[in-house]
Every structure is written in structure tokens, then in C-alpha cells.
């Protein structure tokens, strides 16, 4: 009888010993081999700002007035407001070769979100963990044909979209189309952030009544800025001829 009891207790004791070995003195477990929960993805998020907080297309008459610079400018850029809820924001991958001519003709959409009531969007996608090594990510709102498009190259997980970021996209594309040649991948995220900060300071007093007009006015300032030209050179290491 005693021998039988010993045999029954041996497996139990062995199991308890294994469990005790798997636990540290502080009670933490060191059992390995189970599936591990991957860390959460940091979203790409930001605020979308537009004149009067509206992304709306101009009428053909208003677009003509804008083209000949007769449309009055009444809204200061620093007073641009966040847009309404429900506006789609698309996350694109821009192929460097596609952008070499100064245009982005075939962006590849990878994710989408919509703005909330505060004009905020949040995109959760695994590509968000590869901002630095993906050339390049871009977020887009509005429609180019309607004159309401605003874009921003993604340089961090915080990617606001406004006429300023649209202006930065345009001057970078201008540089890609100019000589001597440089490529989109030459613009590292940190350099894009520096250019955007400079652009924000240079356009603090720019005004416009629509996305179309504000985009044009911001671009006009940035395109003619020697400071922006220097920043583009610093980003690429290649002065524009």
C-alpha cells in the first residue's frame, strides 16, 4: 500500500516542481513557448484644417476669379479651422519613380479613415510602423479635380493636413522635376518635418477663402522663398541649378 501511494504522488510532485521552476521568487512566470501578443500598432493620426473649416469646391465662376487673383482673401491662415466630421482621409504609398517627374500619378492606397467632429483622423495599419523605411507615405484629403485636395508627406505618427503641408508637397515635387536630379527617398522624414516647420512660419499671414485659393497662395510664398530652397538643398545635399 505504501509503495502504491508513492507511485501516485510522484507525477503530481513532478508537475508541481515544474510549475515552481517556471515561477520566479516574485511570482512572475517564465514559461516559454506560448503565443505572444504583438505590440499594438501606433496609428498615423492628425488634424485636417481648411479655410472656414470647409472642404468645398468653388463654382466655375469662383475658380476663374481665383485664377486671375480677383477673389478676396479674408481668412488668415492661423485662423484656419478643423474640418467637419465624415471627410475621408487616405493613406497612400508613393513610389519614388512615379514622383521623379514632379507629379504623383499612381499613388497606392493602403488604408483610409474619416475625420471626427474635431477634424481629427486616425489610421491604424501595419505600414505605420515603417514610416522611416518606406519611401514615402502620404495622407490625402479632398479631390484634385474639384480643387479641394490637400496632401501631407508622413514624417511621423502625427501627420496634420493643411494648405501648408500641401505647399510642402508641391515644392518637394518641384525639386524632383528640376536639375540636377534628386529623388523622393532623398527627403528623409526629419528633413520633411524641418521644411514643414519653416513653411508654417513663412506662411503665417497667408489668407484665402477656399482650399483652392489657400493652396495657391501658400505655394506662391514657398515657391519664391530662398529659405525653402536652402532647406531643400540641405535635405538632398544637391543644390538646384
Q: pLDDT digit string (tens) for 89-100?
A: 999 999 999 999
Nine cell digits for residue 134: 518606406
Rounded to whole angstroms, the maximal C-alpha distance in the chain is 106
The domain segmentation of the chain, as residue ranges, is 44-236
55 to each of 37, 83, 149, how far by Cα in Å?
Answer: 40, 7, 8
Q: Residue 90: is it exposed, middle or buried by C-beta count within 10 angstroms (0-12/13-18/19+)?
A: middle
Mind listing the pLDDT tens digit for each residue in 5-18?
Answer: 344 433 434 444 44
Residue 152 pLDDT level (bands cut at 50, 70, 90):
very high
pLDDT at 174 exceeding the cut of 60: yes
pLDDT of residue 56: 60
pLDDT of residue 29: 38
Burial of 110 (0-12, 13-18, 19+ CB in 10 A): middle
Confidence of residue 55 (pLDDT cuts 50, 70, 90): confident
Q: What is the mean pLDDT of residues 21-43?
A: 58
Confidence bin at 80 (pLDDT 50/70/90): confident
Query: Which pTM value belongs to this model?
Result: 0.78
User: Given pLDDT bands bounded at 50, 70 and 90, which one contains residue 111?
Assistant: very high
User: Nearest-CA neighbor of 113 among 99, 104, 123?
Assistant: 123
Q: If we measure between CA atoms, which residue out of 87, 128, 137, 83 comes closest to residue 108?
A: 137
Supply the pLDDT for residue 217. Answer: 95
Enumerate residues 6+ apart whose C-beta is below 8 A from 154: 44, 91, 131, 136, 137, 138, 139, 189
pLDDT at site 49: 95
Here the cell at position 180 is 540636377
Distance between CA atoms of 220 and 148, rounded to whole angstroms? 17
d(CA 56, CA 166): 16
Q: Tell me, what's the pLDDT at 37? A: 77
> Each residue of 181-218: pLDDT tens digit?
999 999 999 999 999 999 999 999 998 889 999 999 99
Over residues 133-150, the pLDDT tens digits come to: 999 999 999 999 999 999
In whole angstroms, how far apart are CA 77 and each of 18, 70, 195?
A: 67, 18, 17
- What's the mean per-residue pLDDT of the chain? 83
Amino acid at each position: 500500500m505504501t509503495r502504491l501511494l508513492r507511485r501516485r504522488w510522484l507525477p503530481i510532485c513532478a508537475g508541481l516542481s515544474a510549475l515552481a521552476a517556471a515561477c520566479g521568487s516574485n511570482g512572475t512566470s517564465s514559461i516559454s513557448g506560448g503565443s505572444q501578443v504583438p505590440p499594438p500598432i501606433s496609428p498615423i493620426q492628425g488634424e485636417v484644417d481648411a479655410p472656414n473649416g470647409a472642404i468645398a469646391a468653388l463654382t466655375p465662376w469662383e475658380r476663374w476669379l481665383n485664377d486671375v487673383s480677383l477673389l478676396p482673401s479674408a481668412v488668415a491662415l492661423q485662423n484656419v479651422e478643423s474640418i467637419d466630421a465624415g471627410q475621408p482621409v487616405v493613406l497612400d504609398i508613393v513610389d519614388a519613380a512615379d514622383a521623379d517627374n514632379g507629379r504623383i500619378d499612381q499613388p497606392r492606397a493602403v488604408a483610409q479613415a474619416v475625420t471626427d467632429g474635431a477634424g481629427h483622423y486616425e489610421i491604424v495599419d501595419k505600414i505605420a510602423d515603417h514610416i522611416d523605411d518606406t519611401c514615402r507615405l502620404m495622407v490625402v484629403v479632398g479631390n484634385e479635380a474639384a480643387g479641394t485636395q490637400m496632401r501631407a508627406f508622413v514624417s511621423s505618427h502625427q501627420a496634420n493636413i493643411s494648405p501648408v503641408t500641401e505647399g510642402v508637397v508641391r515644392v518637394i515635387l518641384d525639386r524632383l522635376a528640376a536639375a540636377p536630379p534628386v529623388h523622393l527617398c532623398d527627403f528623409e522624414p526629419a528633413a520633411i518635418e524641418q521644411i514643414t516647420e519653416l513653411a508654417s512660419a513663412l506662411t503665417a499671414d497667408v489668407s484665402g477663402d477656399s482650399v483652392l485659393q489657400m493652396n495657391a497662395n501658400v505655394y506662391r510664398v514657398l515657391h519664391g522663398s530662398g529659405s525653402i530652397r536652402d532647406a531643400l538643398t540641405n535635405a538632398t545635399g544637391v543644390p538646384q541649378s
